[in-house]
Structure 1
């Protein structure tokens, strides 16, 4: 084995990149699906590690925006397709990838990165913090709503792909801009999201589209017949509603479709409203898992991109092993309107923490006070922790309902 080197990729290395990704995840179909992502994925934004001329590790990024507390929009590097070829692991390949990628993000002025982790123990050591959670829900067909639930009486209709996507593209941006954790989308990402190739479909049917005047749902049926009759599952890919009444109408529609045993949504929010709408919430099978892992690439720009729930004036003493430009003491000051400044200071640190802990609190999915109970945040000045924790808090749990 030769000496390893890490660098940004060239446009003509697109296929090699997907070959590494496919090999790393032991799934040949990933390389076969590379065509679907040509409009959203640029090899020039990706990085590779090479053993001689052979690419043995790769990490990509998509350039999007994420809604942060405020709500406000923040540029985001959506990190994707990170992998190391079998036979080349335990050689520091992933560490080299992360270091090279974070340096490039800093040079490009990208304040925040986020990813989904294939294994939850990997990315904390690179400064990523678990910033959101998601629920896997299975709701039985016909589940009754409380009498207090207001369901928009306008009709939910099944429409074709093109009509649905035209409507969804017009509705989605305003809803996404109001929900922390939601991502912006280009036309290419829409096509990739509703991709209907055999590899993407798995054991469920082609996507179907249910449209309400103020919302839509994309779902895929999974056919199942038992000795007792039909027991289909409806797998929700996405549910977007501009009003609570439209949200209720879409859920009511899905729950009342014939032949169905349950409606399954594997990327619901942990405070998904439907849980509070049901007469019998215990009937829902629910599992909570980690969602977005967030990395503050440029700490000051990231902190100033979001808004704060309460005025605060606090000095963080931050450690950051991978991004030394973040290391040190930072004074965060937010006014009554939520706007903030983050500047370097020589003042004594009032709260000590690693950048990964600050990233975990960034979207409001985990409080600084809760992190302090785990030992990951240490209060140096009495009263500073509670004030900062309240300032970072949000009214609703952050949630990202799409993978990347």
Structure 2
């Protein structure tokens, strides 16, 4: 029986949830399906069918993402990508990725797509590059800051969810617009992001909310005891602040919570807490990949962000999956703003579209990718100049999995 592909309809939603659960070797959850339904525009979810059976899907939320040096850009937050067991190695994922990316190009709304990868080897072949990393950070309770740290005199306090969430949402909106990698959130995203039914806790406590006049934190506690007493683990879900003093004050509060032994936080790769510590060796850190980024339309994507320095280079770009990007392009940046046009000039740099996706949020150096042989220099000094222009003032970070 042949395979067909189309966007989903309301009548497909239960089968869609069941199929994704099967793809990730999980059990279907009606409560999760109800919670997630407001997030989806089913017209943006492609499904592959064998007869009447849904065997694969790929969706995309409509979000904006903060980028270096410019206003947040419309971004296809790719999600719910999966193929049902028993139907793999048949080209289903490739057909989904092609339908999705070509559809985004035809619609002309989002010039950039981003996703979290279940496996790190999958999406490079579809033109995605590793755009950001996060740090799995562990700190012992009471870890001292260096003597010059100013946490201010503002009170840090815990508050009930109903009081904390409106304040957190307003503050997040102010911070998210200027931190590359952050996505905008509406009411449905907040409801999903901080869902707190027993099934979401994985053996931890309910969420606790911490407020500062210019910041907030959300955490859970994993209860652990031994013969010496309590050794609870404090798991930070999110810590957001408008300035460095508020950031330090929130960390200080969390590090001093009684009965705990360790703080754990999946944080940005450039989290300054490492440098706040009197003894940096107390921090245990390991990096992991976070969003992968794909330029759907190269010219619109590159003109939608700012740049750290001027540059004028000709890029010879390969893109086997989205051939409209495969060409020679002159990127000219003056005072942080870019112009991009097709040319026939000799190239200064040769690279795949995935390398531009990796560098797009300003955290992956093109010089590093050149050393890894993803980027080839044709004119001496061109890669160094291009790499510097692409850098952001902070490393990108996305505090939510979508």
| Aligned 8 A contact 1:40 1:186 in 2 | no
Unaligned regions of 5+ residues in structure 2, if any?
none
Q: Which residue of 2 aligns with 1:203?
A: 203
Give, in whole Å, the separation in 2 of the partners of 1:72 and 1:391. 17
Q: Which residue of 2 aligns with 1:237?
A: 237
Q: Which residue of 2 aligns with 1:48?
A: 47
In the alignment, structure 1 residue 103 sits paired with structure 2 residue 102 = yes
| Aligned 8 A contact 1:71 1:179 in 2 | no
Q: Secondary structure at the match of 1:286?
A: strand
Give, in whole Å, the separation in 2 of the partners of 1:153 and 1:89. 58
Q: Secondary structure at the match of 1:33?
A: helix
Give, in whole Å, the separation in 2 of the partners of 1:146 and 1:233. 23
Alpha-carbon deviations, 1:324-356, whole Å to 9, x = none? 1111111111102x0111111111221111000
Alpha-carbon deviations, 1:82-118, whole Å to 9, x = none? 1111111111111111011111111222100101111
Q: Secondary structure at the match of 1:38?
A: helix
| Aligned 8 A contact 1:67 1:179 in 2 | yes
Give, in whole Å, the separation in 1 of the partners of 2:288 and 2:97. 24
Q: Which residue of 2 aligns with 1:124?
A: 124
Instruction: Give the superposition deviation at 1:151.
Output: 0.5
Q: Which residue of 2 aligns with 1:215?
A: 215
Q: Which residue of 2 aligns with 1:91?
A: 90
Give, in whole Å, the separation in 1 of the partners of 2:9 and 2:250. 44
Q: Which residue of 1 aligns with 2:392?
A: 394
State the Cα RMSD in Å.
1.1
Instruction: Give the superposition deviation at 1:8.
Output: 1.4
How does the TM-score come out when normalised to structure 2? 0.98
Q: Which residue of 2 aligns with 1:35?
A: 34
In the alignment, structure 1 residue 376 sits paired with structure 2 residue 374 = yes
Give, in whole Å, the separation in 1 of the partners of 2:19 and 2:79. 13
Instruction: Give the superposition deviation at 1:322.
Output: 0.9
| Aligned 8 A contact 1:21 1:30 in 2 | no
In the alignment, structure 1 residue 366 sits paired with structure 2 residue 364 = yes
Q: Which residue of 1 aligns with 2:354?
A: 356
Give, in whole Å, the separation in 2 of the partners of 1:217 and 1:41. 27
In the alignment, structure 1 residue 25 sits paired with structure 2 residue 24 = yes
In the alignment, structure 1 residue 173 sits paired with structure 2 residue 173 = yes
Give, in whole Å, the separation in 2 of the partners of 1:387 and 1:285. 34
Give, in whole Å, the separation in 2 of the partners of 1:349 and 1:140. 51
Alpha-carbon deviations, 1:189-248, whole Å to 9, x = none? 001111012222111111110000000001111111111110111111111000100000
Instruction: Give the superposition deviation at 1:12.
Output: 2.5
Moved more, 6-15 or 254-263: 6-15
Instruction: Give the superposition deviation at 1:30.
Output: 5.0
Q: Which residue of 2 aligns with 1:141?
A: 141
| Aligned 8 A contact 1:61 1:78 in 2 | yes
- Alpha-carbon distance change, 75 to 321 in structure 1, aligned in 2, over 3 angstroms: same
Alpha-carbon deviations, 1:107-135, whole Å to 9, x = none? 22210010111110000000000010110
